Amino acid sequence: MGRPAELAIRVGWYLIKNRVLLRKKRFPLVTMLEPLEACNLACEGCGRIREYESVIHREMTTEECMAAVKEAGAPVVTIAGGEPTIWKHLPELVRRLVAQRKFVFCCTNGLLMGKLFKEIPPSKYFAWVVHLDGTGAHHDKSVSRTGVYAIAMRNAQKAVELGYRACSNTTLFSGSSPEDLHSLWRKTTDMGFEGAMLTAGYDYQSVPNQQLFLKRKAAVEVFRKVLDPTATQGIRFYNNPLYLQFLRGERSYKTCTAWSNPTYTVLGWRNPCYPLADAHSQELSDLMKDSVWDRYGNAEKDSRCANCMMHCGFESTTILGAFSNPKDAVTMVRSGALTRSGMTAG
């Protein structure tokens, strides 16, 4: 099963309706749910399991998740965490979201997804997003446990054979090897994945080993090698071409648009964004205020934004920017981004 045309059509219409017809300044494009922050892994670069340590036992109900999705109104929903496959309500939540024709992306480390194949049927509205930071030992090092890559790939292969939509999600850290990533993405492309999602690692202050994270200038140097057009020939990326150009340092943006990817957690909506949680809000409208975005979105406003190139902050910036720049819009269309570009985050 490939990426459904309905996804591009519905997201395209949603964007036109909100940006052009209703002239909304800010609105959610993707609702990101974190129904629990607990995980069966403890990756060295993970901010979540550290930030939420004091509430790691907490879980959301399906009703809370559905209410957050309704409040946001976005056509795309990601379910992450923590590890959502250890949350007992995942099959019920997916069923209810799919019944509402939401496009659901479930982000997983791949260890337990095989156990859910009986409970979550394949659907054009549902995709597994498998966390893969490299092949074999590269990935196992990133997730701090031997053998995870083999299990995740076995489960992902089975998922594709069963007819599920599947993508990979890779975070770039200081030790990432461009050659190894090319090899990973060739494998997953051959396996039948819809595409590879790529994002820059964020320097979470809660992570003790800050050496893991690349500063923006160094990240751009590595992204140039990782996204070398010759070396990546034939690889399907899920991110749109403008975002990939941004990662290679070929375009810049004044500010992120992280308000388009609001994240609902066990404590409420992360305020202001997926990487930063200076507060948690109970009302989503709090995240759409000028008073928030006067303080965040680039290094001039907040030094913690200096190295951020995350797709949850900037992929939507590239998409929304194309609305006011016909040349960028043409680039998106000609590259096939309408049928391939990523809207998810994590």
Q: Give the 3-state secondary structure of residue 177.
A: coil
Residue nearest to ligand SF4 (CB): 313
Backbone angles phi, psi at 11, to 5 degrees: -65, -40
**297 binds ligand SF4 per the rule CB under 6 A:** yes
Locate all alpha helices (DSSP H) within 35-122, ordered by sequence: 48-51, 62-72, 90-99
Pairing of strands 268-272, 263-265: antiparallel
Q: Which residues in the 81-100 window bind ligand SF4 by CB under 6 A?
A: 81-83
DSSP calls for 240-297: -HHHHHHHTTS---SS--GGGS-EEETTEEEEE-SS-EEEEESSGGGGG-HHHHTT-S
**39 binds ligand SF4 per the rule CB under 6 A:** yes
| 98 vs 198, beta carbon nearer ligand SF4 | 198
Backbone angles phi, psi at 126, to 5 degrees: -130, 135
The pattern of x and - marking residues 42 through 71 that bind ligand SF4 according to CB under 6 A reads xx--x-xx----------------------
**181 binds ligand SF4 per the rule CB under 6 A:** no
Provide the 10 A C-beta neighbour count for residue 8.
17
Tokens 């957050």 locate to 68
| 31 vs 109, beta carbon nearer ligand SF4 | 109
| 147 vs 336, beta carbon nearer ligand SF4 | 147
| 125 vs 314, beta carbon nearer ligand SF4 | 314
Q: Which residues in the 247-276 window bind ligand SF4 by CB under 6 A?
A: 256, 258, 272-273, 275-276
Residues that bind ligand SF4 (CB under 6 A): 39, 41-43, 46, 48-49, 81-83, 109, 131, 143, 256, 258, 272-273, 275-276, 296-297, 304-305, 308, 310, 313
